[in-house]
Structure 1
């Protein structure tokens, strides 16, 4: 809002209607400052650009006018000096809808893969469904609330009631973000738990799940009760209500930093297992690249953290929230899409079986056995007789199953690798 004080003095000579709309406190400041200006009273461009005059008027208005009077003055001067009207509301709405549709399609394909292809419904699948409902709630709040009441516009262009409503919907949406972001991490961890049976990895997974649950409880509760009374969270902007608030910016930065750290740990968890496999450097790099698709979510989280710097102590929250809202939407929806990528691949192979046969003719693979498989059973492939061993055959893919079925459609295939050509007598 400070930028608009730079054009406030132009109202006096060139906008009679704006003068009529100006509060008395602003007119008093304007009249007292104009005689000291080097600009002629009829020189509108000079008056709009006079830095010293603008600073004097701005300081006067901020000390003598209420918040609502300041906003009214800012809007009047914007009209007087032909300031551009900024409005990104429709862009924010379109962006939100597009990414929500993409993540919804990914979830639908995951459910089709589970219920239509006979795969077992796991805890990670239930977590994804819960995440989908939370994401739907965030989308509805964004479209029916945030965009409706002026997110993406300058605050002085909005009716006072719209400002209050926009901040209220923002207050409702933020705890849902604090809930969904860690739940996406928990879903990844539950997925890893179905794949890796090593006790050390299992303990790490459950520890990380517990940490994410603690993050949810701590930050959601802290955010909901950061102001007393609670309504002060969306009423404090006008200076007409009484209450106290904690440091919401410190809370947001803490949450973002912890989530980024957890992202890095969760991404590193499967990478350590892949690095233990005897693979060529080129093939190992390709696997790591495919497993680290989720790093994009971490990058988006970092970009969102940068947008929070702009949002800190802002006098124009409805405009400055635009960047934070865009990055938050992308982070959550891309995270959901990453969760559903293995199911998406299995779905495409079912639709186009030639994809599977073509890949199998080119690449060997590794099947991580389920705990239900008997270690003493015979097979044409060579195997380690240890519990949860790795069996090698001529052509296979990285996949998991909780059943001993041999139908490839019963597996969620992760990646395909080329481990080198083995002897024919091992096939």
Structure 2
């Protein structure tokens, strides 16, 4: 954030001179005196002063060059009160949205663990990781002036607000990386082909390194570090790299990693022996993470409005809102595969599984459909398709995958891969 010396003072229609001299900073009073000498407004005509655009422009230029940042903010605040300027405040919107998404993410985490209990599944790394993400995401403070014009915010609260932005920067980058890692750990529980698992492990490492690197860069944006939240008043000495560049680089890298995380499981699902309609259904289940990518893009757009903001407590509110939505939507999407277990327990009809008479799942070749049977092995289920082999074995907890694909025994002691719209009950 740049210094506030260039802050727009478009509402700088000052109070009657008698009041101004006792309330306004001396620099602003001198500017008003000078401007009134060439104005048709009298010093006591408040309505005229408030409505005279030319007078306001002259006083604004004078105040920016003659007053320090705190004096500028004080002048704008007193002027806006005197001329009954509307008071803008998005703090309640920000707070209410935070409550809504906090509730949704809380319910998602609860349903995730309820589903584990219902299925008798062990709690794994991705489950504990989601709890960590939830606890950190929903304990970020939302006050200190966010959603208000900066001249309405007490000076100490401006400092606290910028300290808040500095704190959530590294946290945001780590949280976004951890959400992607949670998705990747989920894929590790499902897909057991060794080459693909190595790719997943490598991509988890990429996300860890990226998250740490962006968090460290964000942490050390300014030297000294405290200059980040003290520089607004132009009374401190320090140096900062471009916060805008860091934000855009982080958002761009995050979107690319989101897309790769989304594509990875689809490359495996597309090779499963399923009919087109059923395959599309499975792909849609794995595509819920696309919502996170969409929100990330919307957040990136909001960053354009705050690139050189002189009113950060007001201009940053949209970016803060999208950041909260992005993190909580990530939590919700990561927990969505567990929702079906609950729904099927409540509405058993949703769990109806196609039987072996389904023309797409017979043991014979029908309408050009491939026969996909295999013998069981200790390592998993291996079946041939054309000239290549594809290997899938049950992971230590493959119940999540059973939400869209069920592997069931047939009389010949072989396995038939059957698409089901349910979990293995």
TM range (shorter): 0.7 to 0.9
Shift, 1:40, TM fit: 6.7
Shift, 1:385, TM fit: 6.3
Measure the CA separation in 2 of the matches of 1:28 and 1:230: 37
Measure the CA separation in 2 of the matches of 1:352 and 1:99: 26
Change (3 A) 1:108 1:182: same
After TM superposition, the score normalised by the length of structure 2 is: 0.81
Match of 1:7 in 2: 11
Shift, 1:311, TM fit: 1.7
Match of 2:64 in 1: 62
Match of 2:367 in 1: none
Match of 2:240 in 1: 245
Q: Is the 8 A contact 2:14 2:79 kept in 1?
A: yes
Change (3 A) 1:211 1:272: same
Shift, 1:360, TM fit: 4.5
Shift, 1:201, TM fit: 1.8
Measure the CA separation in 2 of the matches of 1:116 and 1:207: 33
- Between stretches 322-331 and 205-214, larger displacement belongs to 205-214
> 3-state DSSP class of the match of 2:140?
helix
Which among 100, 108, 112 is matched to residue 110 of structure 1?
A: 112
CA deviation string 1:269-316 (max 9, x = no partner): 112222234555444444333321211111111111111111222111
CA deviation string 1:214-239 (max 9, x = no partner): 11211111111221222111111111
Change (3 A) 1:34 1:281: farther
Q: Is the 8 A contact 2:189 2:396 kept in 1?
A: no
Match of 1:395 in 2: none
Change (3 A) 1:30 1:115: same
CA deviation string 1:96-153 (max 9, x = no partner): 1221121111111112222453113322223222212222xxx3332xxx32x21111
Question: Which protein, 1 or 2, shows the higher relative CO under an 8 Å CA cutoff with sep ≥ 6?
Answer: 2
Measure the CA separation in 2 of the matches of 1:411 and 1:273: 16
Match of 2:364 in 1: none
Measure the CA separation in 1 of the matches of 2:36 and 2:96: 45
> 3-state DSSP class of the match of 2:88?
coil
Shift, 1:263, TM fit: 0.5
Match of 1:402 in 2: 395
- Higher helix fraction (1 or 2): 1
Q: Is the 8 A contact 2:192 2:393 kept in 1?
A: no
Change (3 A) 1:29 1:191: same
Measure the CA separation in 2 of the matches of 1:194 and 1:364: 28
Asked if 1:389 is matched to 2:381, the reply is yes
User: Where do 1:290-301 residues align within 5 Å?
Assistant: 290-301=285-296
Measure the CA separation in 2 of the matches of 1:363 and 1:76: 79
CA deviation string 1:312-339 (max 9, x = no partner): 2211111112101110111010111111
Measure the CA separation in 2 of the matches of 1:388 and 1:360: 23
Structure 1 unmatched runs, 5+: 368-380, 393-398, 418-425
Match of 1:421 in 2: none
Shift, 1:343, TM fit: 1.1
Q: Is the 8 A contact 1:382 1:391 kept in 2?
A: yes
> 3-state DSSP class of the match of 1:310?
helix
After TM superposition, the score normalised by the length of structure 1 is: 0.81
Which among 285, 307, 331 is matched to residue 336 of structure 1?
A: 331
Match of 2:388 in 1: none
Change (3 A) 1:160 1:411: closer
Shift, 1:256, TM fit: 0.4
- Between stretches 56-65 and 336-345, larger displacement belongs to 56-65
Q: Is the 8 A contact 2:9 2:76 kept in 1?
A: yes
> 3-state DSSP class of the match of 1:120?
coil
Match of 2:411 in 1: none
Shift, 1:364, TM fit: 6.5
Asked if 1:82 is matched to 2:77, the reply is no
Q: Is the 8 A contact 2:190 2:395 kept in 1?
A: no
Structure 2 unmatched runs, 5+: 362-371, 385-391, 407-414, 417-425
Shift, 1:255, TM fit: 0.4
Match of 2:140 in 1: 141
CA deviation string 1:39-95 (max 9, x = no partner): 676775664454444333222211110110000001011112211101121221121
Asked if 1:215 is matched to 2:214, the reply is no
RMSD: 3.3
Shift, 1:185, TM fit: 0.2
How many aligned residue pairs are there? 387
Change (3 A) 1:289 1:35: farther
